Amino acid sequence: MKILQINSSVRSANSHSNRLAAELSAHLLAQHPGATLQVRDLGATPHPVLDETALQALFTPAGQRTETQQARVAQDDALIAELQAADSVVIGAPMYNFGISAQLKNWIDAISRAGVTFRYTAQGPEGLLTGKKVYVVLTRGGLYRNTPNDTQMPYLRAFLGFLGMNDVEFVYAEGLAMGPDSEAQALSTARAEIAQLK
């Protein structure tokens, strides 16, 4: 079993999402002897944004790309290969301004490639990354679960499903900025949810 952990916080040691994602990965490793873990820290090593230069590189036939274009496409290829090889994916997703981080959005843009991770058919789009279990750790300063302001969960569920990853578990740690007691309760609740995961 191969586990891929995606950290998307701009913070490092002080990141609740990174810490809880690591604890979730450790829980999976303990449950599956022989499993391996690969960590992609998008905060420590940000992936480049999808811009016009990147699009030109992606839409240029491989044999006609310049060295610079080849290098840019190779960066996306590396993220896609990691995801294709993974059996389980753990994503740490802090809430920034009611959405996901720019770091996570750049990863999403990089791994979304027609003909590779999804394809269009006469019946509509078909995700090609099937058979994977995904765990998403959602960390928030306030309380947003099951409210109209929770834009993260519906977006991530829709996106992951679009790529064929429909088996998704969400772990919530909310109220992290509402005082020490609320923070402690949020972390305790999240860790209890993690302990029940398989």
Q: Is the pLDDT of residue 12 over 90?
A: no
Quick check: 138 and 173 in contact, CB under 8 A?
yes
Quick check: 64 and 123 in contact, CB under 8 A?
no
* Model pLDDT for residues 91-133, shown as the tens digit of each residue: 999 999 999 999 999 999 999 999 999 999 999 999 999 999 9
Q: Is the pLDDT of residue 13 over 90?
A: no
Q: Is the pLDDT of residue 194 over 90?
A: yes
Structural domains present in the chain = 2-195 (3.40.50.360)
9 assigned ligand-binding residue = yes
8 assigned ligand-binding residue = no
96 assigned ligand-binding residue = yes
15 assigned ligand-binding residue = yes
* pLDDT-based confidence at residue 61 (cuts at 50, 70, 90): very high
Q: Model-level pTM? A: 0.95
pLDDT given at position 198: 83
98 assigned ligand-binding residue = yes
106 assigned ligand-binding residue = no
Amino acid at 42: L
155 assigned ligand-binding residue = no
16 assigned ligand-binding residue = yes
